[in-house]
Amino acid sequence: MVTLESVAKTYQTSQGQIRALENINLHIDKGEFVVIRGPSGSGKTTLLMTIGTMLKPSSGNVMFDDTNVYKLSVSARALFRGRNIGFVFQMFHLIPYLTLAENVLLARMRNNGKTDYYDKANELLERLGLGDRIFHRPAQLSAGEKQRAAIARALLNGPKILLADEPTGNLDAENAAEVVRYLRGFQANGGIVILATHGDQAEKSANKIVSLKKGLIEKVQVQETGAKT
């Protein structure tokens, strides 16, 4: 589970301080599908990055089970992130000069035991409907295919949490629905999905909807979707 305790994030700029997050307290259980919604500038991405161990909060704690991730060293935190957290972004962020298989394999963590990454990467791409595009470059794919490849990359190390920052922002309705379906599949297997969006499609699949406004949690809605395990 993931617990945020009085998390705040303040940026210093030439125009003064910007409080991106303020007094965030949140608890997310295993198997939950959480949607973070809010208008642009409300702090959705900041919250996601903070949970994702990529953005150290100005104050407060981010706990993964009993691990206070921001107390770890930078390299230990990177390793933790690689093993436990998968990211999916609106812009996909696939490396243009690598094939799909190579993009997925980029997530490979060296000291992760004897996992056969090549087989796993192929299996993931097959499962996501990209089995025949393994040797294609991102430029040769559609937006939906790129996002599925990004999901495959995020899943390579068997993470416990998937963080998705507006993953359907560049997709049409059909592809967006497909992406949400894959995320729900991950959740159904006991994973935590935290999805930042200002759309509505993903909200139907969520157990919990966290509404942000100007860096503050406005409200937390819990809804019954039958998705939580």
Partner 1 sequence: MNVCKLILKEIAHRKINFAMGVVAVSTAVALLVAFITSGQAYRRETRRIMRDMGQNLRIIPKETTMDEFWTQGFSSHTMPEDYVYKFANLKGYSYTHLTATLQRRVEWKGRTVILTGILPEVLPLDKRHQSPMTFSVQPGDAYVGYEVANIFKMKAGEAVDIFDNPFTVKKVLSETGSKDDIRIYSHLHDIQKVLDLPGQINEIKALECLCLIESSDKDIDPRVLAQKQLDKILPEAKVVMLQGIAKIREQQRAAMEGYLAFIMPVILVVCGAWIAVSTMMNVRDRRQEIGIIRALGHNSTKIAVLFLGKSLLIGLVAAFIGYFAGTALALKYGPEIFKVTAKAIKPEYGLLTWAVIVAPLFAAISSFIPVTIAVTQDPANTLREG
**Contact, 8 vs 163, CB < 8 A?**
no
| Out of 38, 52, 138, 144, the residue judged to bind partner 1 by CB under 8 A | 52
* Residue 63 interacts with partner 1 (CB under 8 A): yes or no: no
Instruction: Answer yes or no whether residue 19 interacts with partner 1 by CB under 8 A.
Output: no
Using rule CB under 8 A, residue 102 touches partner 1: yes
Q: Which long-range contacts (CB under 8 A, 24 or more apart) does 73-81 make?
A: 77/53, 79/109, 79/111, 80/53, 81/52, 81/53, 81/54
Near partner 1 in 80-99, by CB under 8 A:
80-83, 85, 87, 89-91, 93, 95-98
Among residues 165 and 205, whose Cβ is nearest to partner 1? 165
d(CA 74, CA 70): 8
Number of residues located near partner 1, criterion CB under 8 A: 33
Q: Which has the closest alpha carbon to 159: 73, 88, 100?
A: 88
Determine which residue in the list 1, 8, 72, 79 makes contact with partner 1, applying CB under 8 A.
79
Packing angle between helix 143-155 and helix 173-188, nearest 10 degrees?
A: 10
Q: Coil, helix or strand for 61?
A: strand
- Angle (nearest 5°) at CA 45 between 43 and 50: 90
109 counts as binding partner 1 under rule CB under 8 A:
yes
User: Which of 107, 151, 183, 217 forms a contact with partner 1 (CB under 8 A)?
Assistant: 107
| 38 binds partner 1, rule: CB under 8 A | no
* Contact positions vs partner 1 (CB under 8 A): 45-46, 49, 52, 54-55, 74-75, 78-83, 85, 87, 89-91, 93, 95-98, 102, 105-109, 153, 157, 165
